[in-house]
Amino acid sequence: MQALREKNQFINSIMDNSTASIFAKDVDGRYLFVNPRFMDSAGRPVQEVLGKTDFGLFDNDIAEVFRRGDKHVLETSESIYEEVEILLVVVWSTGLPQNSLAQRRRAGAGPCGISLDCTDLQEAETSLRRLTHAVEQSPVSVAMTDTEGRILSVNPYFCSVSGYCEEDIIGRRFGFMLADGDVSFYDPVWKEVAEGSDWHGEVRNQTRRGDILWESLSISSVRDNQDRLLGFVVIKDDITERKRLERLERDVERIVRHDLKSPIMSFIWVPRTLRKAENITEGQAQLLHELEQSGHRLLKMVNLSLDIFKMEEGTYELAPEDLNILRIIQNVLHDLKKDDPGVKVSVVMSVDGRTAVDGDCLLVRGEELLLHSMMSNIIKNAMEASGPGEVVTVDCRTGSRTSVSVHNPAVVPEDVRETFF
């Protein structure tokens, strides 16, 4: 008897402290026993549970599911597994050892079961499905490896970019795509990431067809709840086009700064040197000065072409400074008049409604070469769109916001509209 009491105490202790809901019913579905966890989940004290059926505790739809499950257990003596949503609680229900229905009715025994709250599990599964879908649809390459760097899985984009099918990738060491074939390149990387750091870098890979593939990599470790290393996740972004543009920019800059500038400098230094000679006339000196100034303008145009290239590629870095926009416009007008001395269009510049005079200053922030080029194009277009004897106005306004307006009175001719700006 003592052993039986101790066994019952042991079983009761398990039921009272179980994190699962445990219950027993009679053959008519009335609750005979529930443990504390069941009462917590149901939100009812024991006296409101015992002797009642599921229809007295749950919504009719849920209670009907339980009734069908109880009936199946009683008729078949088979344990069943069922998931039922009860205020975000999912229940597993099992049956009794085999006995005939008549025997169980005589004994008053019905179904019993255990229910577990797997809400967190379902939420985790939902999050995992969402994450898996995001990885599969991602426009970057994603790979999972074991702790030795052998590939366990890849997403479709990885295969699309590399040209390898998944079967050709799984099980291989991650560095198999390196252009130089040195898979040991990643050995220190795995070690660094295993110690807790993330690794970022750029590598030169090779596709299955043999094409060079530059990729930007980010490698992180994957760990369990005990912080034990499970493997690595690698995210790769194709930067081949960016590398091509960087190389093109370097080539253009080399051409501009060396191949073109060297002969251009001759147009500056040779006239400057000749003007120092004692046997040249004043007219010759003026021509040499003009040639030198032309060399400076050509040099500025070369520099501007490099800046425009950088702007188009999104790599230009603006370095603004305080500039007198009136002086820049005056220089533009001087250059335009010199380039076409026979022009019959007048240009009048004003500041806040009055005619501009020498010494006026209107400061703006910008780069002188870019402002000069912009104003030159706008004013030249306005002059070309005007007829003989007409006046182009350049109106500068101060105040909370500085503005420069260029106005030509005539309608822009059809033959220059498409290329006006």
Name 224's Cβ contacts closer than 8 Å, sequence gap at least 6: 230
Q: Report pLDDT digits (tens) over 381-400.
A: 888 888 888 899 999 998 88
Flag whether pLDDT at 214 surpasses 70. Answer: yes
Q: What is the mean pLDDT of residues 24-36?
A: 88
Q: Which DSSP letter does residue 386 get?
A: S
Flag whether pLDDT at 100 surpasses 50. Answer: no
Q: Report pLDDT digits (tens) over 362-387.
A: 889 988 888 888 888 888 888 888 88
DSSP 89-139: EE-----PSS--HHHHHHHT---EEEE---HHHHHHHHHHHHHHHHHHH-S
* pLDDT the model gives residue 101: 44
Choose among 53, 112, 59: nearest CA to 89: 59
Distance CA 420, CA 413 (A): 9
Checking DSSP bridges between strand 151-154 and strand 141-145, what pairing results, if any?
Answer: antiparallel
Helix (H) or strand (E) holding 208: none
DSSP 296-338: HHHHHHHHHHHHHHHHHHT------EEEEHHHHHHHHHHHHHH
Name 70's Cβ contacts closer than 8 Å, sequence gap at least 6: 25, 29, 110, 111
Of 27 and 98, the structure prediction assigns the larger pLDDT to 27
Distance CA 296, CA 303 (A): 11
Flag whether pLDDT at 231 surpasses 90. Answer: yes
* pLDDT the model gives residue 204: 93
Least confident of 196-210, 286-300, 355-369: 286-300
Helix (H) or strand (E) holding 367: none
* pLDDT the model gives residue 96: 40
